[in-house]
């Protein structure tokens, strides 16, 4: 049996907050991934079972390959319905912040979030949380994902027996996507004990995998080939690689939200490669989206913080740079040169 993760004081505080809540907003960061969406949907399902009025509000839409997840039809997007979403946020008495612990991660939604007088609870696994942003901050950077952490919190709340299959599907999806199908940041035995427990809820983990990773269009497949053949560049004697994607190239391959997912991992299949970086022009703002992936002990998070206005985990991080893309490439070259000694 997994040990309790919450100190008694925090557990009592969380129980009281939930008991006193009537109108709850559950939110995740801008550009929500499987972990942010999965944790939001799972917590919303649990709170709804308790009779709470719950709204899931996200700053921007999630990738198309996550639309199959149970509960996505009810998610509200701030960028699409700003006035309505703001009203929902301001009328909430409790806001749960999942998979982020810095208000800036909300970007467009940050203003409405900061104006709210609701009690805030953070459940997150990223480094350096802002402890002032919530009454209760549950932060465990050692966890593989926020979904793993949320499962442990729900276990402490005594919620496992009544945990629905839909919630279990969402939790497993978040854990799976945030570890690249359990290929990195996933060596702790507790992760597989959790998976075993989720399987007792009747989830089909093989179908979940196919729903996430085997649903791309022929255009996405051709985009992958184009990136690997035409765009991939190597640095540091073959220890690092990067590629760029422009708006014009994405339009050429009929790019839809989520089509770039996983591309940054593919260069790591090259023998001896330690670091892979993706530079992609954002389709909505004049910024370059940066994704970093690494193997072994190469610190993606340190590089992301120092060079790319971002952060994240040891082997998976992200950030963004201002236009133009050519300057972003030069930043990559400077970053790789600065960290080349750690790639040996």
Predicted confidence at residue 312, as pLDDT, reads: 84
Q: CA nearest 86: which of 107, 53, 116?
A: 116
Provide the residue ranges of all domains of the chain, joining segments of one domain with +.
Answer: 8-213, 218-343
The mean per-residue pLDDT over the stretch 278-307 comes to 94
C-alpha torsion angle, residues 152, 158, 160, 161 (rounded to 10): 170
Least confident of 154-168, 194-208, 253-267: 253-267
| Burial class of residue 162 (count of CB atoms within 10 Å of its CB; 0-12, 13-18, 19+) | exposed
Q: What is the mean pLDDT of the chain?
A: 95
pLDDT, average across residues 321-333: 95
Kindly tell me if the per-residue pLDDT of 335 is higher than 90: yes
pLDDT band at 1 (very low <50, low <70, confident <90, very high): confident
CATH 3.10.310.30 matches 218-343: yes
- Backbone torsions φ then ψ of 83, nearest 5 degrees: -65, -45
- What is the token pair recorded at 87? 């009203």
- Res. 332: pLDDT tops 90: yes
Identify the pLDDT of residue 267.
97
CATH hierarchy code of domain 8-213: 3.90.1640.10
Q: How confident is the model at residue 280 (pLDDT cuts 50, 70, 90)?
A: very high
Stretch 212-240: mean pLDDT, rounded?
96
Cβ neighbours around 323 below 10 Å, total: 13
Confidence of residue 305 (pLDDT cuts 50, 70, 90): very high
Full-model pTM: 0.91
Tens-digit pLDDT profile for residues 123-139: 999 988 999 999 999 99
Query: Predicted confidence band at 323 (pLDDT cuts at 50, 70, 90)?
Result: confident
Look-up of token digits 């496992």: 160
Position 311 confidence tier, pLDDT thresholds 50, 70, 90: confident
31-63 pLDDT per residue, tens:
999 999 999 999 999 999 999 999 999 999 999
Share of the chain above pLDDT 90, in %: 92
Q: Which pLDDT band holds residue 257 (cuts at 50, 70, 90)? A: confident
**160 CB-contact burial (10 Å; exposed 0-12 / middle 13-18 / buried 19+):** middle
Confidence of residue 284 (pLDDT cuts 50, 70, 90): confident
Omega before 324 within 30 of 0, i.e. cis: yes
Asked whether residue 140 carries a pLDDT value surpassing 90, the answer given is yes
Average pLDDT over residues 68-85: 96
> Which of 13, 203, 207 lies closest to 123 in space, CA to CA?
13
User: Is the separation of the CB atoms in 63 and 261 below 8 Å?
Assistant: yes
pLDDT of residue 109: 97
């Amino acid at each position: 049996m997994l040990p309790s993760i919450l100190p008694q004081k925090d557990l009592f505080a969380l129980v009281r907050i939930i008991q006193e809540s009537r109108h709850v907003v559950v939110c995740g960061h801008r550009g929500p991934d499987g972990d942010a969406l999965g944790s939001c949907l799972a917590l919303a399902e649990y709170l709804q079972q308790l009779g709470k009025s719950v709204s899931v509000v996200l700053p921007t839409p999630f990738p198309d390959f996550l639309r199959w997840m149970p509960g996505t039809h009810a998610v509200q997007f701030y960028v699409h319905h700003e006035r309505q979403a703001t009203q929902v946020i301001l009328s909430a008495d409790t806001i749960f912040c999942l998979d982020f612990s810095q208000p800036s991660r909300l970007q467009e939604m940050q203003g409405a979030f900061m104006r709210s007088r609701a009690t805030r609870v953070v459940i997150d696994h990223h480094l350096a949380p802002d402890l002032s942003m919530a009454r209760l901050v549950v932060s465990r950077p050692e966890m593989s994902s926020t979904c793993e952490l949320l499962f442990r919190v729900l276990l402490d709340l005594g919620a496992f027996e009544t945990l629905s299959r839909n919630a279990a599907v969402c939790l497993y999806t978040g854990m799976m996507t945030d570890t690249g199908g359990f290929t990195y940041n996933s060596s702790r035995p507790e992760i597989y004990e959790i998976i075993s427990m989720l399987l007792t809820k009747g989830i089909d983990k093989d179908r979940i995998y196919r729903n996430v990773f085997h649903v791309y269009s022929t255009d996405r497949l051709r985009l992958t080939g184009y990136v690997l053949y035409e765009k991939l560049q190597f640095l540091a004697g073959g220890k690092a690689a990067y590629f760029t994607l422009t708006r014009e190239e994405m339009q050429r391959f009929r790019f839809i939200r989520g089509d770039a997912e996983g591309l940054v991992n593919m260069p790591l299949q090259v023998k001896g490669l330690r670091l892979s970086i993706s530079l992609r022009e954002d389709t909505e703002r004049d910024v370059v989206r940066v994704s970093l992936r690494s193997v072994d002990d190469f610190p993606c998070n340190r590089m992301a913080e120092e060079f790319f206005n971002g952060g994240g985990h040891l082997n998976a991080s992200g950030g963004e740079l201002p236009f133009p893309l050519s300057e972003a490439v030069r930043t990559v070259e400077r970053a790789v040169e600065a960290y080349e000694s750690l790639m040996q």
